[in-house]
């Protein structure tokens, strides 16, 4: 043991030396980039993007969309996966600042704690675009714009479709709601938007609302109890496709036909959900699109050209009925 310990000292020195060399190398790269930055007047835009991670199919589609859109738009993309850690994201953003990229874009892992690094970017004169999720900085000048879905609107679209469908209904329409994870922004906002929209018709009533944690197993387990506790359920509103998919099995087991006996409305429009919609098991989906790459690249060009952009831009999203789903399904990427 003693021998090993004495041996470890030179090893440690070598490791320190190696890491110093590495850091030096990175710095040197940064410097050479800076040198190159001066000759970057060929109009080619460099974008540094820091992604949250790869936690879901939605996120994977988001990443692919951004990479493809960058290639299509002729923008050089420096991509970093933060693996759900804010410190990784801050590190990546600092790297981009050092490399003097033209635009920095990122989907913040968490809402708070960004002021310092965003100020650094601002001081370096690099515009920042937020995608998908926002930050809670009081100083709105720290970023140019926030590009992402409007969850309240998604809930409202779902509700408005239902109001339209049930406008001739004479008796009460019983709705059950499968909420997302308690406290999550999409769950709160979708619930709010839906409630606002169905307030237009007093016949529409949410008789039960429980969290299914955005998962299929959760949606199924909750729906089983809803079906047993409430003899008459007319409509199911699920905050995402997965919970709706789980509920399908519960509805079938109860001897009812999903899509006919119970109208099903969900949000997201992932592939499995679209398939269910095309098969007539779902009736309506409000899209929450991860494909914001093209919009992001457009914004990057505008920002680089010094044009003014709105502080809040919504992702281009649509809604699907069964017929539309059948059409859209073959080209669905996620």
Based on the shown chain and the rule CB under 8 A, indicate whether residue 266 belongs to the binding site for another protein: no
Question: How many binding residues for another protein (CB under 8 A)?
Answer: 34
Q: 261, 301, 303: which is closest to 280 by C-alpha?
A: 261
Task: Determine the 3-state secondary structure of 265 from DSSP.
Answer: strand
Extract long-range pairs of 301-304: CB within 8 Å, 24+ residues apart: 301/45, 301/73, 301/75, 303/103, 303/127, 303/129, 303/144, 303/145, 304/45, 304/102, 304/103, 304/127
Q: What is the footprint of another protein within residues 151-180 (CB under 8 A)?
A: 179
Q: Considering only 34-42, 112-120, 247-255, 285-293, which stretch makes contact with another protein by CB under 8 A?
A: 247-255
Choice between 271 and 302, CB closer to another protein: 271
CB of 215 to another protein, least distance (A): 4
**Smallest distance, Å, CB 180 to another protein?**
10
Q: Compute the distance between CA of residue 297 and CA of residue 72 in angstroms, rounded to an integer.
A: 9
Residue 149 C-beta: closest distance to another protein, Å: 20
256, 258, 263, 266: CA torsion to nearest 10? 140
DSSP 6-67: HHHHHHHHHHHHHHHHHHHHHHHHHHHHHHHHHT-TTS--EEEEEE----SHHHHHHHHHHH
Angle subtended at Cα 91 by Cα 88 and Cα 95, rounded to the nearest 5 degrees: 135
Nearest CB to another protein, comparing residues 92 and 227: 227
Taking CB under 8 A as the criterion, the residue among 97, 245, 267, 296 binding another protein is: 245
Q: Which of residues 180-239 bind another protein (CB under 8 A)?
A: 182, 208-211, 213-218, 220-222, 224-226, 228-229
Task: From 287, 285, 244, 240, select the one nearest 262 (Cα to Cα).
Answer: 244
Rounded Cα distance, 189 and 184, in Å: 9
Q: Residues 52-71: x/- map of binding to another protein (CB under 8 A)?
A: --xxxx-xx-----------
Residue closer to another protein, measured from CB, 143 or 237? 237
Query: Of the listed pieces 50-58, 154-162, 287-295, 312-320, which binds another protein according to CB under 8 A?
Result: 50-58
The whole-angstrom distance between residue 148's C-alpha and the CA centroid of its chain comes to 7
Site string for another protein, 267-296 (x = CB under 8 A): -----x------------------------
The correct pick among 127, 246, 258, 290 for binding another protein (CB under 8 A) is 246
Binding site for another protein (CB under 8 A): 54-57, 59-60, 179, 182, 208-211, 213-218, 220-222, 224-226, 228-229, 242, 245-246, 249, 253-255, 272
């Amino acid at each position: 043991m003693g021998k090993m310990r004495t041996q470890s000292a030179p090893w440690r020195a070598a490791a320190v030396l190696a890491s110093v060399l590495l850091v030096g190398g990175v710095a040197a790269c940064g410097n050479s980039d800076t040198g190159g930055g001066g000759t970057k007047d060929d109009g080619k835009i460099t974008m540094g993007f820091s992604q949250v991670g790869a936690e879901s199919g939605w996120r994977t589609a988001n990443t692919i969309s951004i990479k493809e859109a960058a290639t299509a738009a002729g923008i050089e993309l420096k991509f970093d996966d933060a693996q759900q850690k804010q410190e990784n994201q801050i590190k990546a953003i600092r790297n981009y600042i050092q490399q003097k990229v033209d635009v920095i874009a990122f989907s913040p892992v968490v809402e708070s704690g960004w002021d310092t690094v965003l100020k650094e970017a601002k001081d370096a004169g690099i515009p920042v675009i937020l995608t998908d999720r926002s930050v809670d900085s009081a100083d709105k000048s720290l970023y140019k714009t926030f590009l992402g879905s409007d969850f309240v609107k998604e809930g409202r679209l779902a509700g408005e479709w239902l109001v339209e469908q049930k406008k001739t209904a004479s008796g009460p329409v019983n709705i059950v709601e499968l909420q997302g994870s308690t406290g999550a922004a999409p769950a709160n906002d979708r619930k709010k938007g839906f409630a606002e929209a169905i307030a237009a018709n007093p016949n529409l009533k949410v008789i039960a609302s429980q969290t299914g944690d955005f998962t299929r197993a959760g949606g199924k387990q909750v729906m089983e109890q809803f079906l047993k506790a409430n003899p008459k359920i007319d409509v199911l509103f699920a905050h995402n496709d997965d919970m709706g998919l789980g509920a399908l099995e519960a509805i079938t087991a109860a001897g009812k036909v999903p899509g006919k006996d119970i109208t099903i409305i969900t949000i997201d429009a992932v592939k499995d959900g679209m398939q269910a919609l095309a098969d007539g098991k779902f009736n309506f989906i409000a899209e929450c699109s991860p494909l914001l790459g093209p919009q992001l690249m457009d914004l990057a060009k505008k920002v680089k050209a010094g044009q003014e952009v709105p502080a809040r831009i919504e992702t281009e999203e649509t809604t699907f009925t069964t017929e539309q789903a059948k059409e859209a399904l073959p080209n669905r990427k996620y």
